[in-house]
Amino acid sequence: MAKIDRLFDKMLSSRASDLHMTEGQKPKIRLHGSIVAFEDEPVLDKRTIQELLREICVPQRWEKYLACKDIDFAYDKDAKSRFRCNYYYQVHGMGAVFRIIPTKIMTLEELNLPKVLKQFASFRSGLVLVTGPTGSGKSTTLASVMNHINERQHRYILTIEEPIEFVHPNKKSFFCQREVGVDLSSFAEGLRVAGRQDCDVVLVGEMRDFETISLALSAAAKGLLVFGTLHTNSAIRTVDRIIDVFPPALHGMARSILADTLRGICAQLLIKKSGGGRVAVNEILMEAPGMASSIREGNIANLQNIMLAGQNRGMRLMDDALLELVRDGKVDTEDAFLLAEDKDGFRAKTRQS
């Protein structure tokens, strides 16, 4: 048993989502969205934090951390506890963040996610994006969608991740899970060879740069079903982000390819739940008449009208999803207000209800 496992056990017993360790400070956890210190733990000095971090990191990876000052990997504490680990350096020395990865992949129903996400799993080709800030549950949502495919379809699914988080058992589908930094040098490399691996579905853990985004669009245009994540808070910002990553001279081409390949966007946030815990709130955009032409012509603002018109198909705006949670008594009005896009409009609607 590694010495750090004692802190993981305390984290798990507290039902926290993350453990933070920073040189010169006490260990901290993220509990229901807030950072809370382990007051009964001593301050982590240089020798202690180095000993704790090094023990669960293989030598080759440890040397990379010392050289590059930042690494990501996964750690299996036991059969029931798996963590995503990020080691970094900061002004006072070493630091690390550990996030619990559930070993059981929850269903869309168990996560209380919109039923329309099942349609995302039924697409045969194109680009599907799950977006949101760090810690908003994007990986958990995507794992649930992958599991939905796995239980119902005979498909070959390639995942490209850094690190591999959810480990999928083969059910009706067959998985090939590849880790950046271990099996591949980059997300882009994984996408380049995906077309030669006879894949049906490709999951890209993070679409963070021009090369990865352009290759993902290309793969979707060639007939693969590509799932990816971006750190954007809405469908409109997601489309803008993809276009803007291309050089200005290529914006027209990017809009055209995105218009032809985009099948859906699920933007996700986590909000404090009344009575404790957190709940996901989702904005949904799906392929509909007018969506492709709006993207191709650069009329991105019209996507909001498409989502409003498509509510009977499961589409919705983030503010409307937040308002629904408020009206159901699941979240506090002020917490929802802080996440709302149109704050004046949101405030007016809450006063009417």
Q: What is the pLDDT of residues 235-294, one digit of tens each?
A: 999 999 999 999 999 999 999 999 999 999 999 999 999 888 889 999 999 999 999 999
| pLDDT over 80 (residue 9) | yes
What is the value of pTM for the model shown? Answer: 0.88
Q: CA 279, CA 290: separation in Å to the nearest integer?
A: 32
Mean pLDDT of 38-42: 95
Residue 48 pLDDT level (bands cut at 50, 70, 90) = very high
40-51 burial, b for 16+ CB within 10 Å, e for fewer?
A: eeeebeeeebee
Residue closest to 225 by CA, chosen among 201, 251, 259:
201
Residue 352 has pLDDT above 90, yes or no: no
Residues of the chain with CATH 3.30.450.90: 5-101
CATH of 117-316 among 3.60.20.10, 3.90.190.20, 3.40.630.40, 3.40.50.300: 3.40.50.300
* The pLDDT of residue 353 is above 70: no
CATH code assigned to 5-101? 3.30.450.90
Name the segment(s) of the chain with CATH classification 3.40.50.300: 117-316
Nearest in space to 61 (alpha carbons), one of 96, 19, 18 = 96
User: For residue 341, is pLDDT > 70?
Assistant: yes
User: pLDDT tens digits for 147-190?
Assistant: 999 999 999 999 999 999 999 999 999 999 999 988 999 999 99
Q: Measured between alpha carbons, how far is 203 from 158 in angstroms, rounded to an integer?
A: 6
Mean pLDDT value of segment 312-321: 96
Residues 6+ apart with CB under 8 A from 197: 156, 158, 176
Mean pLDDT, the chain, whole residue set: 95
Q: For the residues 10-21, what does the mean pLDDT come to?
A: 95
pLDDT value for 307: 97
Say whether pLDDT at 134 is over 80. yes
Residue 299 reports pLDDT greater than 70: yes
Mean pLDDT of all residues in 312-338: 95
